[in-house]
Amino acid sequence: MKGNFPVAKWNGVQTPFYFYDIELLKRTLATIKAETDKYGFCQHYAIKANANPRILKLIASYGFGADCVSGGEVQAALDAGFDPHKIVFAGVGKADWEINLALKGDIFCFNVESIPELHIINELAAAQNKTARVEFRVNPNVDAHTHAKITTGLSENKFGINLSQIAAVLKDAQTLSNIEVVGLHFHIGSQITDMSAFKDLCIKANDLQNQLEAQGFTFANMNFGGGLGIDYHHPNHIDMPDFASYFAVFNQLVERREGQAIHFELGRAVVGQCGSLISSVLYVKEGEVKKFAILDAGFTELIRPAMYDAYHRIENLSSDLPQETYDVVGPICESSDVFGKDVSLNQVKRGDLIALRSAGAYGEVMSSTYNLRKLPAAYFSEDFE
């Protein structure tokens, strides 16, 4: 089974380009909204997953907040119409101009990752005569059972404050006059499909909250980050993750205090399945032992296979001929520019349109101009209706 694309209406459209299925995105957003409303949870979309302005505007219109990791993202969130009081700003290395921008924009809070950062935020807030709201990002030492390059919650990772140091950091914060501590923040990694990792996170967070309360610290907010994975192998059958089960885990396991707000920062799960990279076949090359389908898209448009050995389902949208086996590669002068090895595709010829599926998250936004290539264009299903 292949995805349903308006191929006939793409005549003359230059490849490669990103194509977004807006109906699916709306359905996904409505599902997340329904599931979070059930429990009064707050969802801040992780802008890093896809910062296309049209996508951001649509997400903001569902009332979601935004999770940002740079001044550029904070600005993009403000421009797209996200409510500043629902914007959170994370990152281990926030530059002064980025902190100032966020203070001026009066965002909800900074997710702070170290004591030196806390002190700089305090100084910059004082200079603006403001109080900065902060959550501390705690590194809960939970194994997310995902790719090493996208695991973040282990003590060996650069992210967050270790469990053993958090009480001292909270004490330090009490001495700073322009800081208000509003909560704790966790994020254990990305593309997590095993709910037990999230269960472990809930248990660790409960233990920590109990310990810190015994020392007199209370928290109005608990933020559990993002990380829920999508089904890269079956985008046509499983076009969104099981949001109901995901949020139910937190509802069941988190020992929520009265009046406490629970926050999430999903990125991939929101936009991953709605996007595909559409590319044309330039050449079919017969090697000694392999056949190569050489595309006009490469890792400049979609870097995930080269960078993380990530799997993306590949479909030939132009052919119903019997399947053959190809290595599907791009034109970049690097041997890692491979989208898939030994991929079964309906027989391929020059000019066929190839879809790389599940590319809505960390696709367009990670594209580059390496080899002086053009950044890919983006089209939306509603453009072809």
- What is each CA distance from 348 to 276, 280, 286, 299, 341, in whole angstroms? 19, 10, 12, 20, 15
Of the candidate spans 42-50, 58-66, 125-133, 339-347, the one that interacts with ligand LLP by CB under 6 A turns out to be 42-50
302 lines the binding site for ligand LLP (CB under 6 A): no
- Contact between 284 and 349 under an 8 Å Cβ cutoff? The reply is yes
Least separation, in Å, of the C-beta of 181 and ligand LLP?
18
304 lines the binding site for ligand LLP (CB under 6 A): yes
Residue from 71, 153, 225, 305 binding ligand LLP (CB under 6 A): 225
For ligand LLP, the binding residues in 111-130 under the rule CB under 6 A are none
What is 297-351 written as a DSSP string? --TTT--HHHHH-----EEETT--SPEEEEEEE-SSSSTT-EEEEEEEEE---TT
Of the candidate spans 53-61, 116-124, 183-191, 341-349, the one that interacts with ligand LLP by CB under 6 A turns out to be 183-191
Which SS3 state, helix, strand or coil, does residue 266 take? coil
50 lines the binding site for ligand LLP (CB under 6 A): no
Q: Which residues of 289-321 are buried (b: 16+ CB within 10 A; e: fewer)?
A: eeebbbbbbbbbbbbbbbebebebbbbbbbbee
32 vs 353 by CB, closer to ligand LLP = 32
Cα–Cα distance between 60 and 213 in angstroms, integer? 35
For ligand LLP, the binding residues in 138-177 under the rule CB under 6 A are 150, 152
Binding-residue total with ligand LLP (CB under 6 A): 23
Residue from 267, 275, 298, 360 binding ligand LLP (CB under 6 A): 267
Of the candidate spans 30-38, 58-66, 184-192, 284-292, the one that interacts with ligand LLP by CB under 6 A turns out to be 184-192
Residue from 29, 47, 49, 188 binding ligand LLP (CB under 6 A): 49
226 lines the binding site for ligand LLP (CB under 6 A): yes
CA 41 to chain centre: 18
340 lines the binding site for ligand LLP (CB under 6 A): no
Least separation, in Å, of the C-beta of 92 and ligand LLP?
10
> Do the strands 275-286 and 261-264 form a parallel or antiparallel pair, or are they unpaired?
unpaired
Residue from 28, 36, 43, 191 binding ligand LLP (CB under 6 A): 191
Q: What angle do helix axes 166-174 and 115-127 make, rounded to 10 degrees?
A: 20
For ligand LLP, the binding residues in 195-224 under the rule CB under 6 A are none
What is 84-151 written as a DSSP string? GGGEEE--S---HHHHHHHHHTT-SEEEE--HHHHHHHHHHHHHTT--EEEEEEEE------S-GGGB
Within 8 A by CB and 6+ apart from 293, the residues are 281, 284, 326, 327, 328, 329, 343, 345, 348, 354
Residue from 308, 311, 370, 384 binding ligand LLP (CB under 6 A): 308
353 vs 360 by CB, closer to ligand LLP = 360
Residue from 52, 151, 190, 316 binding ligand LLP (CB under 6 A): 190
227 lines the binding site for ligand LLP (CB under 6 A): yes
Residue from 101, 266, 295, 355 binding ligand LLP (CB under 6 A): 266
Q: Which H or E element spans position 74?
A: helix 71-80
**Residues interacting with ligand LLP, by CB under 6 A?**
46, 48-49, 67, 90, 150, 152, 187, 190-191, 225-228, 265-269, 304, 308, 361-362
